[in-house]
Amino acid sequence: MIRKPRTRLKPSLPPDLYGEEYFLSACEGYEEFLRTRGEHLSRRLQAAFAVAEVRPGMRVLDVGCGRGEIVRHCARMGAWAIGIDYAAAAVQLSARLLREAVDLQAPAALAQADAKYLPFPAGVFDRVLMFDVVEHLFPWELRLALREAHRVLKPGGMLVIHTAPNRWYDAYAYPLVRLVRTLQGLGHLYPPNPRTLNVPVNEAVHVNEQGPLGLWWALRRAGFRPVRVWLSTPPQNRQEGPFFRMLRHIAFRWIPFRWFFEREVFAVAIRP
């Protein structure tokens, strides 16, 4: 009998890749965090948090809590919140933020833990939040993390995901954007590897960008009932002529083009 060779799983990224400098200079929302000490969320985090519909009395788990501002916002609203992160620097930053907070209306706790092996019993949370986490998990890790999120949620509990960039943008739209910008003499602003666009460190820490269809199937395989998976994009405030304004309108508003040009992926799924 001929045995198929087993696929070797890529090892998890080392947690020391995520030091304090990463969370305060590259991780989504750092500018708003530094300006307001976590009082205000970035546009992207605010949009994801609003979808979660956190209410007083809920139990919320923030997977990949980073600097801790989401945990703080949950507790300030009266929800019992726990934040976990793989990186020690994140737990230290979050602890510092919670110590400074004087407006918490419910308990808040932190732990250094792995999303693949959550240290909680089954069925205890009303919400599990994974904001800007899944792109840092190899496919085998994402499968385990989604199963763990399913396990710790109460029946009827909700998982909310935000991830960026949209994998379809990187694979299909970005090469076209880069070509056009190169013809305009702006090619130096658009590196060959889209992971290094704006945030060079993402080349080391982004390993598994998601498209809407792939994320939908991943949720189904983990036992969730996906309620909605959708795309969005940052505000486009470029000062350009009518021709490029028309192209931008088509790219971001018309189907199927928007599936490839919108850069952010959101998902809401329910544990049946």
* Higher local confidence (pLDDT), 2 or 159: 159
- How much of the chain exceeds pLDDT 90, in percent? 87
Q: According to the model, what pLDDT value does residue 242 have? A: 87
Structure confidence at residue 123 as a pLDDT band (50, 70, 90): very high
Average pLDDT over residues 154-169: 97
Average pLDDT over residues 164-190: 94
Q: According to the model, what pLDDT value does residue 261 have? A: 94
Q: According to the model, what pLDDT value does residue 1 have? A: 47
Is the confidence at residue 4, as pLDDT, over 70?
A: no
Q: According to the model, what pLDDT value does residue 33 have? A: 96
Residue 25, CA distances (Å) to 21, 38, 94, 206, 219 in order? 6, 14, 16, 16, 31
- How much of the chain exceeds pLDDT 70, in percent? 97
In the chain, the domains with their CATH numbers are: 21-168+206-240+262-270 (3.40.50.150)
Among 57, 3, 18, 73, which Cα is nearest to 205's? 18
> Mean pLDDT score of the chain, rounded to an integer?
94
Q: According to the model, what pLDDT value does residue 3 have? A: 53
User: Which of the residue ranges 154-163, 192-201, 237-246 would you say has the lowest mean pLDDT?
Assistant: 237-246
Distance in angstroms (rounded) separating the CA atoms of residues 237 and 234:
9
Is the confidence at residue 112, as pLDDT, over 80?
A: yes
User: Which of the residue ranges 24-28, 151-155, 196-200, 201-205 would you say has the lowest mean pLDDT?
Assistant: 196-200
Average pLDDT over residues 72-84: 97
Structure confidence at residue 244 as a pLDDT band (50, 70, 90): confident
Q: Is the model's pTM score more than 0.75?
A: yes
User: Which of the residue ranges 81-90, 116-125, 192-201, 231-240 would you say has the lowest mean pLDDT?
Assistant: 231-240
Distance in angstroms (rounded) separating the CA atoms of residues 176 and 154:
44
Cis peptide preceding 226, ω within 30 of 0: no
Q: According to the model, what pLDDT value does residue 240 have? A: 77
Token pair listed for 139 = 């496919």
* Higher local confidence (pLDDT), 221 or 240: 221
